[in-house]
Chains A and B, each alone.
Chain A
């Protein structure tokens, strides 16, 4: 960030627990959570596919719930606990959902993948899906242009039971 950038962003101070770390950041009232993550904090794992809440590539977990970061103003996140794709693994140990995505080849280009994985973890936290059909419906907010949908389902369906048994894995900020 340049000095000019910092001046431009000098706005309101908010406190976040981001991927388990407490952060104090200054945001402008119009800055979206997505732009805060990508442009200010260099957490580019959260993707911008449409910036209009239509594709799900920017899905992150806020207090364990999946949200579109592009439709969330950063200033609304004061005091929130956020988990992005960068915060799901435990050190070198991948989150079971990340592992399952690799195993089932649930991605190709990888651009929708962080959003898919965060969405799947959020789905597990919701505790309302277990079958292939339910996953199919409840993962439909995340577009994948490479068409990896059936592999995504295979990965999610495989991991859901273990996550339902241990809901604390659900990206509530380690």
Chain B
């Protein structure tokens, strides 16, 4: 037995393990936020504003209150006391500015703003009574059109990298240049589960809340400061979250409204938003982007300028990383980035899957394709020529960056070498065939996180952290990490999450859950193993000084010389019922000298009907470099999902605003198009080997975002190759191709 190593073949890491919560999900036993019953539970229904700007003059709830079974109608005039200061409404994903304060006063800041909450014995009564509420407004003029509002744009309060080198000079002298504008639309997350909160009002006045969230403790903190409740009296639970993609990063308004009703009535209340109301809070903001790229004849980048304008609300400055990627993906000495925000009479945007990168990389990677064509260089070759092994924005080397392997292996699997570069040169009958590609990048971050590990006398380990599983596979991968680190089989591990009373966890987002919580779980389980060894040292004097490095482990045993000590026996022989450890994990200092990121290369085949302009994504190959993959099955699914999102972004998704009303028009799943099964062709996902000893001890970077990045640009580039038409306004609908 090698020293301090798992028994060969016993490692759970990397295995394509089935989801541990799979059985609950396929049998309908997994309960989501709005699905917890209680005797006498009340139901809420929100009445939303129909104007985009102004004031509420009068709310007439008399007809609603006359409906038998209606318990209360709550608005800004009769709500329980709430905080007034901005900082009391700030949360772990706040934007700069004054957060929206639901039911605070009579001001209407955007169309769809919640104004009234009707509470009744049944959902149907609440909804019906809501339709009887009459609201009189004082209407003010509004502006929701970014193309008009961009004139008032101000510099975003973001740490946009300072210019380096001399962009204007280098661009002016470049042999080949591209100077183009792109736009991306507003998009809504639309998780399948609408946002919901079930607030159980306990006899002692404490609140137990099932909320749809990506951060249980974020919601707890928010309610603590908004309502002045003691934290100990608020427990947020989120055992299952029916998708979020960023929509649950901030506490959404259904949570404080349900709490208002519960506090006012001292009753338990559930509030579930309608699908239409899923369009009344955060979204991916529209962007207007200007790319200028200059290169030498051989394609070497001389100059890059990326200027972006995003929309925001009048009360907060929402920022995301739109332009940074243009300064870090490729080697270029003369770079100039700018990022502005235009305030409109809308709600504040919100992080949505790969926030910033999904939008900004559209401009960069389409412009790179245009540059390849202008320079007469193969698009893959152009990217290889400009590969950067350090991040020019930060002046730091990448901890690992197997992007060249992504290009090479992806091209090989796709059959890129058979591509005729001439547009409209490939076809299948009436279908024009287009092959396009793009690169992807996303940060590999790590946040502080805590975890607790506990083993009982049957050898079963329970590991916990307050994080959530929004479909990402957190339950499963944490089980694998814990099993590997503790030296037990995954069947002997239970991972508990989604509870604000558990050890501190960051928001689940940004692809940093494996890196952050996974590291805490790994450290906690290693510490638990050390504690088991301590117990052996105590109980067996002959091993009192045995070194951890000389102890093998696996399958629930410690191995010292030829002696096997079963974990269950060790706990039984100790004087404790369980052995416990809790760990607070932090990013390792060694990360500071490096830039850390995931990368991908996406290859796409589209078929464009020559007569009808319909576009189908027939085939996608996505080569991903994300460090070590903890679960090859769930990680692949994450990337598959990201690719589907990229297809939606490229061809379908757009929240369209009627600027006369200042309101999203297509606020339903019939009119806000997302891909359906028939839209999805063959998707080949694979992970290139990438060893990274810097990023964290797991060597794992996270895969939630990287799957979407680059996909929309690869599709746009393929559409150009198929049709000879360059569409720069997303989504690429058939009218733009015909």
Contact = CB atoms under 8 A, between A and B. Distances in A.
Interface string A144-162: 1111111111000000000
A123 B280 CA distance: 35
B145 interface: no
Given A84-B28, A86-B27, A8 B69 contact: yes
Given A136-B677, A140-B676, A51 B35 contact: no
A84 B640 CA distance: 28
A9 B122 contact: yes
Contacts of B241: 109
Interface residues of A, number: 65
A94 B192 contact: no
A109 B191 contact: yes
Contacts of A51: 274-275
A124 B155 CA distance: 57
B677 A2 contact: no
Given A52-B668, A98-B26, A145-B674, A151 B35 contact: no
Contacts of A45: 27-29
A2 B683 CA distance: 50
Contacts of A42: 37
Interface string B479-499: 000000000000000000000
Nearest to B242: A111
B243 interface: yes
Contact of A111 (B69, B193, B669, B675): B193
A139 interface: yes
A50 B122 contact: no
Contacts of B122: 5, 8-9, 39
Contact of B192 (A55, A103, A140): A55
Given A47-B192, A50-B275, A105 B69 contact: no
A61 interface: no
Interface string B653-678: 00000000000000011100011111
A148 B641 contact: yes
B79 interface: no
Among B192, B240, B638, which residue has the most Cβ atoms of chain A within 10 A?
B192
Given A54-B668, A151-B640, A44 B471 contact: no
B18 to A, nearest CB: 5
B194 A48 contact: yes
A110 B475 CA distance: 13
Nearest to B645: A147
Interface residues of B, number: 66
Contact of B242 (A109, A137, A140): A109
Nearest to A99: B26
Contacts of A49: 192-194, 275, 669
A110 B242 contact: yes
Contacts of B125: 8
A146 B677 contact: no
B31 interface: yes
A140 B473 CA distance: 24
Nearest to A45: B28
A108 B669 contact: no
Nearest to B43: A39
Contacts of A44: 28, 31-32, 35
A8 to B, nearest CB: 5
A82 interface: no
Please classify the interface of chain A as helix (H, G, I), strand (E, B), loop, or mixed, using the class held by over half of its residues. loop
A52 B125 CA distance: 18
A153 B19 CA distance: 18
A54 B637 contact: no
Contacts of B121: 2, 4-5, 8
Please classify the interface of chain B as helix (H, G, I), strand (E, B), loop, or mixed, using the class held by over half of its residues. loop
Interface in A21-47: 28, 30-31, 35, 38-39, 42-47
Given A45-B28, A49-B192, A147 B640 contact: yes
Contacts of B680: 136, 147, 149-150
Contact of B27 (A98, A137, A142): A98
B274 A102 contact: no
B583 to A, nearest CB: 28
B39 A2 contact: yes
Contacts of A142: 677
B502 interface: no
B27 A148 contact: no
B551 to A, nearest CB: 36
A75 interface: no
B393 to A, nearest CB: 31
A45 B124 CA distance: 20
B245 A145 contact: yes
Interface in A116-130: 117
A124 B471 CA distance: 27
B25 interface: yes
A109 B27 contact: no
A114 interface: yes
Contact of A110 (B25, B41, B244, B275): B25
A150 B645 CA distance: 13
B22 interface: yes
Contacts of A151: 637, 640
A109 B243 contact: yes
A8 B71 CA distance: 13
Given A147-B641, A148-B637, A109 B470 contact: yes
A137 to B, nearest CB: 5
Among A102, A143, A146, which residue has the most Cβ atoms of chain B within 10 A?
A146
A123 to B, nearest CB: 11
Contacts of A137: 677-678
Contacts of A165: none
B23 interface: yes
28 contacts: A2-B40, A4-B40, A8-B122, A28-B124, A44-B31, A45-B28, A47-B193, A49-B194, A52-B275, A52-B669, A85-B26, A94-B23, A94-B27, A102-B22, A103-B18, A107-B471, A109-B244, A110-B26, A111-B192, A112-B192, A136-B677, A139-B677, A145-B245, A147-B640, A147-B641, A147-B643, A147-B645, A149-B677
Given A30-B124, A153-B677, 17 more contacts: A9-B122, A31-B124, A39-B123, A50-B669, A52-B669, A55-B669, A89-B27, A98-B27, A105-B18, A108-B473, A108-B634, A109-B470, A110-B21, A136-B677, A140-B678, A149-B644, A149-B676
Interface of B: 18-19, 21-32, 35, 37, 39-41, 68-69, 121-125, 190-194, 240-245, 272, 274-275, 470-473, 633-634, 636-638, 640-645, 668-670, 674-678, 680, 682-683
Interface of A: 1-2, 4-5, 8-9, 28, 30-31, 35, 38-39, 42-52, 54-55, 57, 84-86, 88-89, 94, 98-99, 101-103, 105, 107-114, 117, 135-137, 139-153
